[in-house]
Amino acid sequence: MKALLALEDGAVFRGRSFTGPVETTGEVVFNTSMSGYQEILTDPSYCGQMVTMTYPLIGNYGVNAEDVESSRIQVRALLVREYQEAPSNWRSEKSLADYLGEAGIPGIEGMDTRALTRRIRNVGAMRAALSTGDLDPSSLVEKARRTPDMEGLDLVREVTCAGPALWRDGRPVPVEGTLDDFQWPGPGDRWRVVAVDYGVKSNILRSLEKRGCTVLVVPADVPGEAIDRLEPHGLFLSNGPGDPAAVTYAVDMLRGQMGRRPTFGICLGHQLLGLALGGKTFKLKFGHRGGNQPVKDLSTGKVEITSQNHGFCVDMHSIQDPDVELTHVNLNDNTLEGLRHKKIPLFSVQYHPEASPGPHDAGYLFDRFVKMMEEHRGRS
């Protein structure tokens, strides 16, 4: 089935749908990972976006029930050069086409993904329209231009959890009643962590649980007073989609939480902390998305190969607090990848130490968070 992708700048790319009829819009971005397409599809940070895979062959190992990062597919569409319809892997439970089709998410193959990626790199991430019915380029370009721009969009409300849940044995267990009624399971739980869900990936929660944390996942609009009543040992701020500057309710909450307890932010959580510390964020030209981004830890001089997925960045120069310190930089473009506060127990990184997909170089950051909780509890 013929498909047409039109970008807001007028460029048009042709392909074929391997999932049936479709018409959708969103921002087009690219990911450089060679594998991990199921984790990418289910990453809530991709809400509102069509993802182009730069690796040419996708679908060869199928999908399964374990390699998911949320409860559903989050992308608007998957764009690939060549789709492999006959998966070969002992863990495969169904084909990628069936997986996408059941969720009503389009998969498009036969596109010149090299040319599309080059276009995005040169021009920047753009709004686009994709259709198998409307194959008129001028009509689709106009639909792309009418699509809401990513800047100014609060997409967190589309992906956050509906209510609080305890993360137990690798899955969320809904909490009965309200947060006012909640009681932590018991004294046997070593570290009590409140994780604010701005679009959290499951492997982040698995990484915390693996280190002995009892994790309570709460919605993105949780008030600071509720967190105070819970008296957690630590506060975790998750990844998520959209423009951080539009999530004003989260920034306001974080300003009131500064210094109350050890705090660790990843991706959007990092950006929200930057805003709460008085800084500003800006949109990157085409973002960082893939499993091979080099990041330098300025405290050790070591270089980590990291998994990343973000289109916005904190402007370190906009933060006037002299106690806020730059800790990590991206070696491709020297953008900020991590910060910490010298006087209060707070640190954050732009990239994804939980990987899934990607390397595990940065897993030590979860250990750092646990150590910070231990030190803070010892002083209190």
Q: Give the Cβ contact number of residue 90 at 10 Å.
A: 7
Tokens for 272, please give them.
């929200």
Q: Give the Cβ contact number of residue 133 at 10 Å.
A: 12
Residue 142 annotated in active site: no
The stretches of the chain forming alpha helices (DSSP H) are: 37-41, 96-103, 113-123, 137-145, 156-159, 202-210, 224-230, 248-257, 268-276, 364-379
Tokens 């990911």 sit on residue = 31
3-state secondary structure of 331: coil
Length of the chain: 380
* Most distant pair of Cα atoms in the chain: their distance: 66
CA distance 270 to 48: 20
Residue (of 359, 337, 356, 354) closest to 292 by Cα position:
359
Residue 354 annotated in active site: yes
Residue 267 annotated in active site: yes
Tokens 């990607």 sit on residue = 358
CA distance 266 to 323: 20
Write b or e for each residue in 137-155: b if 16 or more Cβ atoms lie within 10 A of its Cβ, otherwise e.
eeebbebbbebeebeebbb
Write the single-letter amino acid at 225: E
Instruction: Compute the C-alpha angle 344/345/349, nearest 5°.
Output: 115
Q: Are 1 and 17 in contact (CB under 8 A)?
A: yes
Cβ-based neighbours of 176, under 8 Å, separated by 6 or more = none
Q: Which of 47, 161, 213, 267 is catalytic?
A: 267
Q: Are 237 and 272 in contact (CB under 8 A)?
A: yes
Active site residues: 267, 352, 354
